[in-house]
Chain A
Amino acid sequence: MQTISKEKIYSWLEEVKDPEIPVLSLVDLGVITGVGIEDETVHIEMTPTFVGCPAMDMMKQEVIEVLNKHGVENVSVNISFKEPWSSDKISAKGRQALKQFGLAPPPPGNLFTDIDILEHAQCPRCNGSNTDLKNPFGPTLCRSIHYCNDCKEAFEQFKPL
């Protein structure tokens, strides 16, 4: 195996998307917490968004497949909570992608000590905060449901965690 850089690995991993939000790569989502290259093997460290995330095994499989496709034969993926995921790990590019997808990006996690910040999420359509929390549990574990009083429409937010 010729020498590959970590940067190269990260750029290949951009191809793996969150199965629930196909515009968001795993790298931008922040679930790839480490890349290591040792002899012939590439080690990937991953951490789930939510402990019960049903897509984790699928994402792990895709990471292996994408790297295989680029000629990396030996890939080991380790899933741990050493560096736990929080919504602050979503990159600026990832936040932008969420917004274009119609999902309000999560507010900074340190604000989440005050539960009220969930009450007035910023509407991804009009950017206003004249909104109400409808349900902290949305169609998937990482989304909550809100209503914009100005747009008169419901929207979802990627939950701060």
Chain B
Amino acid sequence: MNELALKELLYKMADDQLILGHRNSEWTGFGPLLEEDIAFSSMAQDKIGQSHALYSILHSLGEQEPDTIAFTRHADQFHNCLLTELPNGEYDFSLIRHFLYDTAEIIRFDMLTQSSFKPVAELAVKVRAELRYHTLHANTWVKQLGSATEESISRLQHSLEYALPYALGIFEESPYEKELIAEGIFGGEQALKEKWKTKVEEVINQTQLQLPDWKTMQPILGGRKGKHSEHLQPLLDEMSEVFNIDPTAEW
């Protein structure tokens, strides 16, 4: 088993879940509806728990303790895609990001249920089941608000156009794509991206939103290689501040 390839995959997945989980948790107390407040808080708890499980697998492969990995690295050591670190902005952006990201994530974990690396395949079965609630939530609201009022449609449309190039950054290729595919660890970013596009189209086509031509979109890359926006380090500082107040607290 190519361990470097495997670790690279696990780091980026875990970092995505941790960072977006943290962003979701920022909605606690600020959701547009109490229901949404609860939904984003629950999804945050799921995602942070899932990141912890992935960091635990990394730990079993010789990396540091999960909390150490999560809370003591600098921004340029994180492999999350830029989409996950962008500030929450208005609800419409958070919703669109949630939709674009979770649609990719559930397909990624679905592919990983077939992984030749057993601990990941076992965890993936579990995470895939949990993520169904996340995509159910995202699809429901995108369909509802994407066909509701002129204002909700135009807000979502604007956020969709803004978020899509970042969303394409989810699939920034790893230096180990060939190895991952050849060894049956993961089916690869290209395959994932194609499935994702189909699913995104399927949901958006049920709304009054317009999906721009994929060919005109320029992916915004860098996150997978540690090149982040100015938004990540402040998020990490805040996250580790909480951790440093009480390093024994349960996450």
Binding site for B on A (CB under 8 A): 50-54, 57, 80-82, 84-86, 112, 115, 118, 134-139, 141, 145, 159, 161
Contact = CB atoms under 8 A, between A and B. Distances in A.
Interface string B125-138: 11101101100110
Contact of A136 (B50, B125, B127, B137): B137
Interface stretch (B36-44, B144-152, B215-223): B36-44
Contacts of B43: 137
B125 A81 contact: yes
B47 A52 contact: yes
A135 B39 contact: yes
A54 B45 contact: yes
Interface string B107-148: 000000000000100110111011011001100000000000
Contacts of A115: 132, 136
Contacts of B41: 137
A57 B47 CA distance: 18
A57 B52 CA distance: 13
Given A86-B129, A161-B130, A137 B137 contact: yes
A160 to B, nearest CB: 9
A81 B38 contact: no
A81 B42 contact: no
Given A84-B125, A85-B126, A134-B35, A159 B133 contact: yes
Most chain-A Cβ atoms within 10 A of its Cβ — which of B35, B38, B42?
B42
Contact of B122 (A82, A118, A135): A82
B46 interface: yes
Interface residues of B, number: 27
Interface of B: 35, 38-39, 41-43, 45-50, 52-53, 119, 122-123, 125-127, 129-130, 132-133, 136-137, 250
A75 B48 CA distance: 29
By Cβ-Cβ distance, the 5 closest A-B pairs, closest first, are: A52-B49, A137-B42, A81-B122, A137-B39, A84-B126
Contact of B45 (A52, A80, A82, A84): A52
Nearest to B45: A52
17 contacts: A50-B130, A51-B52, A51-B123, A52-B49, A52-B50, A80-B122, A82-B122, A84-B129, A135-B38, A135-B39, A137-B42, A137-B133, A138-B38, A138-B42, A139-B38, A141-B45, A141-B46
A80 B122 CA distance: 9
